[in-house]
Amino acid sequence: MAIATLIAAGRLDDRLIDRALGALREIDPKAAFAAWIDEGDAVDLRVSGDIQAIRWALDGLQDVDVFVQPEENRFKRLLVADMDSTIVGQECLDELADFAGLKREIAEITERAMQGKLDFKAALRERVAMLSGLDEDAISRCLAERVVPNPGAATLVRTMRVGGARSILVTGGFVSFADPIAKLLGFNAVRANRLLFDGSLLTGSVEDPIVDAQAKRDALIEAREELGLKREETLAIGDGANDRLMVQEAGLGVAFRAKPALAEVADARLDHHGLDALLWVQGIRNRDWVKA
């Protein structure tokens, strides 16, 4: 038995629910309304059948975020999240590059890397090398002036933490950004790359080993094993090709406003709502959210 959660905050009505049930009954004639999570915002439908087929059946619901998963292990005990363009709304390296007058050039490389068209490690080294000589002060200014958490990020992390889950920020970005963001939002741990300095100036190099797609997947597996969790008890979210392995490894892998390279392999897409919608996915009512 599976749960199909429909999320359309402020506009989820009987018409939408009936349309979803009509599509589901082509797979399972007994598909039925299960319960409101929050009336008008998020609802659970109960259905039997192949989970991927259920997802495809509901794919045509316009402006609705749809999540299909087994009933068991719905609340996730481990959250592993990408940072840039996922937990925060920016690509931190691109914003830092603006302080060196190189945002356009570096952002073009970033976009190609996130689409999976460039080797991530090589692209990272190329971009960091272009920032050689930039003063460390630019990082703190960039963090204060440019980097903003995405809506719902703090509520998601804090609510899951109160529920006993562990959360890890895993990024191909940099400790200089990830540590303050993690502390602000309530993550338990960080895995990120380290920029190298000569005094207060960037050398244009990054410390090895580089956190890439494989390292992100490894971080999820290591934390899962350390906590003694089943795969089904884990949740991962990202936006780009560098998150593919991590998202595929999770019990529930989510593509957030994602590039096609990630969206095509994820269990679900979060395209229309903030990150706190992942609490509805786990069956948590709005009244129980720990709001920032």
The confidence band for 202, taking pLDDT boundaries of 50, 70 and 90, is: very high
Q: Is 283 left (phi over 0), alpha (psi -120 to 50) or beta?
A: left
Is 90 exceeded by the pLDDT of residue 160? yes
pLDDT higher than 80, residue 18: yes
Q: Is 82 one of the annotated active-site residues of the chain? A: yes
Is residue 41 annotated as part of the catalytic site, yes or no?
no
204-226 confidence digits (pLDDT tens): 999 999 999 999 999 999 999 99
Among 28, 65, 84, 243, the one annotated catalytic: 84
Alpha carbon 163 to its chain's center: 19
Q: Which listed residue (28, 65, 82, 267) is catalytic?
A: 82
3-class SS at 179? Answer: helix
- Per residue in 106-130, pLDDT (tens digit) is 999 999 998 999 999 999 999 999 9
pLDDT at residue 46 above 80? yes
Where do the domains of the chain lie, and which CATH numbers do they carry? 1-71 (3.30.70.1110), 75-292 (3.40.50.1000)
Distance CA 50, CA 28 (A): 10
Q: Give the pLDDT of residue 195.
A: 97
- The per-residue pLDDT for 60 is 87
Q: Please compute the mean of the pLDDT values over residues 90-108 and round it to a whole number.
A: 95
pLDDT score, position 43: 98
Structure confidence by residue, pLDDT tens digits, 131-155:
999 999 999 999 999 999 999 999 9
292 pLDDT above the threshold of 80: no
Strands (DSSP E) along 87-233, which ranges? Answer: 166-174, 189-193, 195-198, 201-206
